[in-house]
Amino acid sequence: MMHDLDFLLEKCQAGKRMNLAVACPYGDDVLGAVCEAHGRGLVNGILIGDSEQIKKKAQEHHFDIEGLTFVEEKDDYSATEKAVQMVSSQEADLLMKGLVKTAVLLRAVLNKEWGLRTGSLLSHLFLFEIPLLNRRIIGLSDGGMNMYPDLNAKVGIIENAVECYHKIGVDNPLIAALGAVEVVNPDMPATLDAAALTLMNSRSQIKGCTIDGPFALDNAISEEAAQIKGIESPVAGKADMLLVPTIESGNLIGKVLLYMTGGRGAGVILGARKPIVLTSRFDSMETKLLSIALGAVVASKE
Ligand code: COD
């Protein structure tokens, strides 16, 4: 069980400095985080957009832009395209979303000619550090990209997450497939998928992790709750990652953890040629910095 996300900053600092291409960094949130990450030596920041506007914003907020690279692309679509192309041509090692709509960036990433597709499913993984659980780290997928994943997509989501866990040093992540209850109920498709995934894992169709489910959220994260329900499982109460059934359930759990429990997090899109750092405007500077570090650690191991 991991605690405290600061290890990501340490791992990132100790590794090779990755080149981070940021599309449209006009918001003070992303620009501030990139300047901070660059200043700390975590990444080399490449800012793609209207340079004048970016510099003005940096000046307004006293951000240090010393050493950052500027690539001039005034139009948002061209800047997004350029940022994606810099990653596909290996001029940059990872991508970050600035002040551009998530769907616009993701569509550019999925572009068949110059995007970052690999043939695998792309999915979003968020690692949360939860103060109420002694800063325990719990991952969650997918609350950011795949809306209503079927069983096949859930396999893809798990495989992406497992690869990421291995890269950050967790050799056998414990994955809880969530539903509303901890028993299989044929009227609740999420519980059927959870049972199928558990069997696929036990028959080595999905490797590198231990999957169990269905679980309700409480018995996935609390050993006491699991005990009260009489659930015996290596994952019950100890889950490293929660596989959620829909984007709404994942997004809601994530927002509760970040904004109602004072937690921090780190989120990236996996399964593309390189990781994509995707944060929301309201995320704290720490969450953005940790997300950059997570992306850079994953990129450095590819
Ligand atoms: N992985 C790999 N390929 C994909 C994926 C994926 N997750 N999703 C779509 N594709 C491919 C399809 O196979 C197809 O070839 C092409 O992309 C277009 O597929 P569509 O028509 O289903 O995709 P779009 O363009 O309508 O939508 C793709 C988005 C990623 C934009 C869409 O799924 C989306 O908006 N997701 C939610 C993102 C969001 O709003 N997140 C906010 C919460 S933070």
Give the pLDDT score at 283: 87
Q: How far is the CA of 121 from the centre of ligand 1 (A)?
A: 10
> Does residue 78 lie in a domain region?
yes
Give the pLDDT score at 55: 97
Residues 90 and 173 in one domain: no
Residues 140 and 253 in one domain: yes
Count of domains forming the chain: 2
Residues 106 and 146 in one domain: no
| Residue listed under structure tokens 């080149």 | 19
- Phi (first) and psi of residue 91, to 5 degrees: -75, -25
Pocket test for ligand 1, best of 109, 113, 140, 145 (most atoms within 8 A of CB): 145
Locate the ligand 1 atom nearest the alpha carbon of residue 110 and give its number.
17
Residue of the CA atom closest to atom 15 of ligand 1: 110
Q: How far is the CA of 122 from the centre of ligand 1 (A)?
A: 9
> Does residue 80 lie in a domain region?
yes
> Does residue 169 lie in a domain region?
yes
> Does residue 282 lie in a domain region?
no
Question: Does the C-beta of 107 come closer than 6 Å to ligand 1?
Answer: yes
The CB density around residue 285, as the number of other CB atoms within 10 Å, is 14
Residues 41 and 144 in one domain: no
Residues 113 and 127 in one domain: no
Residues 140 and 218 in one domain: yes
Q: How far is the CA of 107 from the centre of ligand 1 (A)?
A: 7
Where residue 101 sits, what CATH number does that domain have? 3.40.718.10
Residues 134 and 256 in one domain: yes
Residues 172 and 65 in one domain: no
Structural tokens at position 37: 């990450």
> Does residue 43 lie in a domain region?
yes
Give the pLDDT score at 281: 83
Among the three residues 61, 84, 117, which one is the final residue of a domain in this structure?
117
Q: How far is the CA of 106 from the centre of ligand 1 (A)?
A: 7
| 3-state DSSP of the chain | CCECCHHHHHHHHHCCCEEEEEECCCCHHHHHHHHHHHHCCCEEEEEEECHHHHHHHHHHCCCCCCCCEEEECCCHHHHHHHHHHHHHCCCCCEEEECCCCHHHHHHHHCCCCCCCCCCCCCEEEEEEEEHHHCCEEEEEECCCCCCCCCHHHHHHHHHHHHHHHHHCCCCCCEEEEECCCCCCCCCCHHHHHHHHHHHHHHCCCCCCCEEEEEECHHHHHCHHHHHHCCCCCCCCCCCCEEECCCHHHHHHHHHHHHHCCCCEEEEEEECCCCCEECCCCCCCHHHHHHHHHHHHHHHHCC
Give the pLDDT score at 280: 86
Residues 146 and 112 in one domain: no
Question: Does the C-beta of 162 come closer than 6 Å to ligand 1?
Answer: no
Residues 146 and 184 in one domain: yes
Residues 61 and 152 in one domain: no
Give the pLDDT score at 282: 84
Give the pLDDT score at 1: 82
> Does residue 29 lie in a domain region?
yes
Residue of the CA atom closest to atom 43 of ligand 1: 144
List beta partners, residue 242. Answer: 140, 176
Question: Does the C-beta of 185 come closer than 6 Å to ligand 1?
Answer: no
Q: Are 242 and 174 in contact (CB under 8 A)?
A: no
Host domain of residue 34: 5-117
pTM surpassing 0.85? yes
Task: Give every CB contact of residue 74 below 8 A, 6+ residues apart in sequence.
Answer: 49, 50
Give the pLDDT score at 2: 87
Q: How far is the CA of 152 from the centre of ligand 1 (A)?
A: 15
Question: Does the C-beta of 122 come closer than 6 Å to ligand 1?
Answer: yes
> Does residue 291 lie in a domain region?
no
The tens-digit pLDDT sequence of the chain (302 residues) is 888 999 999 999 999 999 999 999 999 889 999 999 999 999 999 999 999 999 999 999 999 999 999 999 999 999 999 999 999 999 999 999 999 999 899 999 999 999 999 999 999 999 999 999 999 999 999 999 999 999 999 999 999 999 999 999 999 999 999 999 999 999 999 999 999 999 999 999 999 999 999 999 999 999 999 999 999 999 999 999 999 999 999 999 999 999 999 899 999 999 999 999 998 888 889 999 999 999 999 999 87
> Does residue 44 lie in a domain region?
yes
Residues 109 and 146 in one domain: no
